[in-house]
A and B are shown apart, each in its own frame.
Chain A
């Protein structure tokens, strides 16, 4: 069973990964975006960590809802509402249970990913975070490690795609050949599940 501590660890491990990879995320965002993805997410997850410490939410759903709220209000770029919606909707789907099963997390995360697709209008293959998240959720039933691999493979697989959403889509064919920064940071989020679980 996964309790609030697990979800707090998930968020703090993500914050550490984002910190570590911020430069790389911003580099990926330079040729096809506005070179702020790393710093934006860094600001967001720093706020998440601080809010979790201060408010100490005591259910999985409350942890993710608070984290999502922080991302929406602090990131400043499109990744704020997108990641914020992902975590908030996932948290909402988990309800107020003190512990949840892996299966419940999988279902909730699927609800969150669906909400992101509805908000941003992106579908798989559009070269967005969805390309890492959808395969990750599909693999989550198997294990966190499988989800991590699927997300990382999904992120790498965005390289040959042409962007159809967001600022990168203005570049048309010139967006081809670059790995999508949003899919890359989504893979960090999913990878953090493994570490949070101590696997």
Chain B
């Protein structure tokens, strides 16, 4: 790990499905292009591989991408959102500076990874991910 990488904001992608979380992580890192990449961890499905969300999976993913610059957590829906909120309310389950980012899952993940890989701070990463809501397709 070099000095630059240590300052990257970490990104956690929480989905009900392990496959969705892993694929979106792959897509977002693929679109982020060459150069150093911010750490990205998928956190999908339950511990036994089913559909759902797991606090253990989420907490481990957040710890794995924490470089001390904060962690942006993006979620798909329902229990993914509630579980992250409940974990944040616990206080000591997620790294300091972990934030639930209100963003569309796929587009927000791409924006977050690109921005974080450019060395942006947590607030900038959060704003970039949230801005993905304003991108209309029709």
Q: How would residues 105 to 146 of chain A score, 1 for a CB under 8 Å from any chain B CB and 0 otherwise?
A: 000000000000001100000000000000000000000000
Q: Tell me which residues across on chain A come within 8 A of B52, comparing CB atoms.
A: 36, 40, 76-77
Q: Tell me which residues across on chain B come within 8 A of A80, comparing CB atoms.
A: 53, 79, 82-83, 86
Given contacts A81-B79, A166-B78, A167-B78, contact A76 B46 (CB under 8 A): yes
User: Which residue on chain A has the smallest CB distance to residue B77?
Assistant: A167
Q: Tell me which residues across on chain B come within 8 A of A85, comparing CB atoms.
A: 86, 89
- B56 contacts A120, C-beta separation under 8 Å: no
- B50 contacts A76, C-beta separation under 8 Å: yes
Residue B86 contacts which of A36, A84, A167 (CB distance < 8 angstroms)?
Answer: A84
Residue A81 contacts which of B46, B50, B51, B86 (CB distance < 8 angstroms)?
Answer: B86
Interface assignment of B55: CB less than 8 Å from any CB of chain A: yes
- A81 contacts B83, C-beta separation under 8 Å: yes
Interface size bracket, A side = 10 to 19
Residue B82 contacts which of A36, A40, A82 (CB distance < 8 angstroms)?
Answer: A82
Beta-carbon contacts under 8 Å, A145-169 to B: 166-167
- B79 contacts A78, C-beta separation under 8 Å: yes
Q: How far is the CA of A76 from the CA of B55 in the complex (A)?
A: 8
Interface assignment of B87: CB less than 8 Å from any CB of chain A: yes
Q: Tell me which residues across on chain A come within 8 A of B51, comparing CB atoms.
A: 34
Interface assignment of A72: CB less than 8 Å from any CB of chain B: yes
Least CB distance, B90 to chain A, in whole angstroms: 8
Q: Please classify the interface of chain B as helix (H, G, I), strand (E, B), loop, or mixed, using the class held by over half of its residues.
A: helix
- B82 contacts A73, C-beta separation under 8 Å: no
Q: Tell me which residues across on chain A come within 8 A of B56, comparing CB atoms.
A: 73
Q: Please classify the interface of chain A as helix (H, G, I), strand (E, B), loop, or mixed, using the class held by over half of its residues.
A: helix
Least CB distance, A33 to chain B, in whole angstroms: 10
Least CB distance, B114 to chain A, in whole angstroms: 30
Beta-carbon contacts under 8 Å, B59-94 to A: 78-79, 82-83, 85-87, 89-90
Residue A120 contacts which of B50, B82, B87, B90 (CB distance < 8 angstroms)?
Answer: B82
Q: Tell me which residues across on chain A come within 8 A of B87, comparing CB atoms.
A: 72
Q: How far is the CA of A76 from the CA of B18 in the complex (A)?
A: 13
Q: How would residues 73 to 94 of chain A score, 1 for a CB under 8 Å from any chain B CB and 0 otherwise?
A: 1001111111011000000000
Given contacts A72-B87, A76-B46, contact A81 B82 (CB under 8 A): yes
- A72 contacts B79, C-beta separation under 8 Å: no
What are 13 A-B pairs at a CB distance below 8 A? A36-B52, A40-B52, A69-B90, A72-B90, A76-B50, A76-B53, A76-B79, A80-B53, A80-B82, A80-B86, A82-B82, A119-B89, A167-B78
Q: Enumerate chain B interface residues (CB-CB to A < 8 A).
A: 46, 50-56, 78-79, 82-83, 85-87, 89-90
Q: Enumerate chain A interface residues (CB-CB to B < 8 A).
A: 34, 36, 40, 69, 72-73, 76-82, 84-85, 119-120, 166-167
Can you add 19 more A-B contacts, CB < 8 Å, to A73-B56, A78-B83? Answer: A36-B52, A40-B52, A69-B90, A72-B55, A72-B86, A72-B90, A76-B46, A77-B52, A77-B78, A78-B78, A78-B79, A78-B82, A79-B79, A80-B53, A80-B86, A81-B82, A81-B85, A119-B85, A119-B86
